[in-house]
Amino acid sequence: MSRKNRVAVIGASGRMGKAIIQVLSQSKLSELSASVVSKGSVYLGLDSGLHSGLKQNEILFSDDLTKAISDADTVIDFSIREALPEVLEYCKASKKPVVVGTTGLDETHKDLLRETSKSIPIVYSPNMSIGVNLLFKLTEIAAKVMGDLADIEILDIHHRHKKDAPSGTAEKLKNILLETLGRTESNIVHGRQGLLSERDPKEIAIHTFRAGEVIGDHTVYFFTPEERVEITHKAQDRKTFAVGSVKAAEFLVGREKGLYDMLSVLGL
């Protein structure tokens, strides 16, 4: 790139928005071009640098989504799922690549991502962390080696404020296991209660904790009668998701239209 990649951040006043603005302030390849918040937000007009714990950057929080996207080279969206159709519509109209990190997407949203990716390049991942995407790959490898021999469990721990359960990351881990092992949703159990029959060998259970201020912990367990393998990722700082998001935005520069994930970004 002859100049820095100009990035518009959607959902810029939230926890992830602040972290992304911090990462962009230190990036050698990218810079913040716009910080977008929802209409009527109390943050409208405030300096996004000061709000993010940095020095003043003179990029004020705005609700002008059209201008933000048209002026940017790349868009990073960490807003709310209800806003995704509008974000994708503007990105498509402006032919701007977009990184979607918004959580809690249902199949309708995912269908919209697939359809829009026929026109523009999109990176979508339920978790932008580099380490978590390594967890995805390691889970696939472990499932190929141990899946038919082991009882498999997934543990998802997040802060008490998180609304969706299981997390998008836990859902992705589930889907990796199902695809790798040729199993279906009928093999999935969410927690357990009451008198239980003997565990089905193909059962995969997901357990969800929502407590305290845990940023995000995920573990996949493979139990055999002789041993136990645990693959764990623990996020210590939200900045890990922001680093991955900015890396994804840089990956999209000059990229062909299509739907990419973080494994593509990381070459995994």
Q: Under a CB-based contact definition with an 8 Å cutoff, are residues 172 and 126 in contact?
A: yes
Q: Is 125 annotated as a binding residue?
A: yes
pLDDT at 238 over 90: no
- Which residues are CB-contacts of 176 (< 8 A; sequence separation ≥ 6)? 136, 139, 140, 143
What is the chain's mean pLDDT, rounded? 95
Helix (H, G, I), strand (E, B), or coil: what is residue 212?
Answer: coil
pLDDT tens column, 164-193: 899 989 999 999 999 999 999 999 999 999
Supply the pLDDT for residue 126.
82
**Residue owning tokens 């995407």:** 133
Q: What is the DSSP string of 125-186?
A: -S---HHHHHHHHHHHHHHHHHTTTSEEEEEEEE-TT--SSS-HHHHHHHHHHHHHHT--GG
CA separation for the pair 124, 127 (Å, rounded): 9
Q: Is 114 annotated as a binding residue?
A: no
The dihedral region occupied by 11, where left means phi > 0, alpha psi between -120 and 50, and beta the remainder, is: left
pLDDT at 1 over 60: no
Distance of CA 163 to the CA centre of its chain: 15
CA separation for the pair 128, 124 (Å, rounded): 8
Token duo for residue 74: 């790349």
pLDDT tens column, 53-67: 999 999 999 999 999
Burial of 254 (0-12, 13-18, 19+ CB in 10 A): exposed
Q: Is 15 annotated as a binding residue?
A: yes
pLDDT tens column, 199-236: 999 999 999 999 999 999 999 999 999 999 999 999 99
Q: Under a CB-based contact definition with an 8 Å cutoff, are residues 101 and 16 in contact?
A: yes
Domains of the chain plus CATH, in order, are 5-128+238-266 (3.40.50.720), 130-234 (3.30.360.10)
Backbone angles phi, psi at 88, to 5 degrees: -65, -35
Supply the pLDDT for residue 2.
67
Q: What pTM value is reported for the model?
A: 0.82
Which residues form the catalytic set?
A: 158, 162
Q: What angle do CA 91, 96, 98 make, to 5 degrees?
A: 75
Backbone angles phi, psi at 21, to 5 degrees: -60, -40
Supply the pLDDT for residue 118.
98
Q: How many CA atoms lie within 13 A of 149 on its CB side?
A: 12
pLDDT tens column, 5-31: 999 999 999 999 999 999 999 999 999
Supply the pLDDT for residue 39.
92
Q: Is 169 annotated as a binding residue?
A: yes
